Amino acid sequence: MSSEEAHEARRAACEQPKSRVYNPTSAPYAGPGPHYIDVYEVSLTNRRMQHSPIVAGETKLLPPGSTLDFDHNLIQLFACVVPVLGKRSGKVTCRFDRGVAKSRTWPLYEATYRVTVREARTGREVKVVTLRGTESPEESCPGFATDDPGTVVARSLTGDALDKALRPLLLAPA
State residue 149's pLDDT score.
78
> Could you tell me the pLDDT band of residue 31, with boundaries at 50, 70 and 90?
very high
* Summary mean pLDDT of the chain: 83
- Cβ-contact 166, 27 below 8 angstroms: no
Bond from prior residue into 168 cis (ω within 30 degrees of 0): no
- % of the chain surpassing 90 pLDDT: 38
Give the rounded percent of residues in the chain with a pLDDT score beyond 70. Answer: 82
Q: What local confidence, expressed as pLDDT, does residue 146 receive? A: 75
Q: pLDDT band for position 15 (50/70/90)?
A: confident
Tally the C-alpha atoms within 13 A of residue 17's C-alpha that lie toward its C-beta: 16
Q: What is the pLDDT of residues 102-157, one digit of tens each?
A: 898 999 999 999 999 999 999 999 999 999 999 999 999 888 777 777 888 989 98
Measure the CA angle with vertex 123, ends 40 and 25; round to 5°.
90
Q: Per-domain residue ranges for the chain? A: 3-171
Query: Would you place residue 58 in the very low, low, confident or very high pLDDT band (cuts 50, 70, 90)?
Result: very low
- Give me the pLDDT at residue 64, please: 60
The enclosing H or E element of 113 equals strand 103-119
pLDDT of 64-79, one tens digit each? 655 555 677 888 999 9
User: Which of 21-35, 54-68, 124-138 shows the lowest per-residue confidence on average (mean pLDDT)?
Assistant: 54-68
Under the phi-then-psi rule, with left for phi > 0, alpha for psi from -120 to 50, and beta for the rest, what region is 150?
left
The 3-class SS string of 72-99 reads HHHCCEEEEEEEEEEEEEEEEEEECCCE
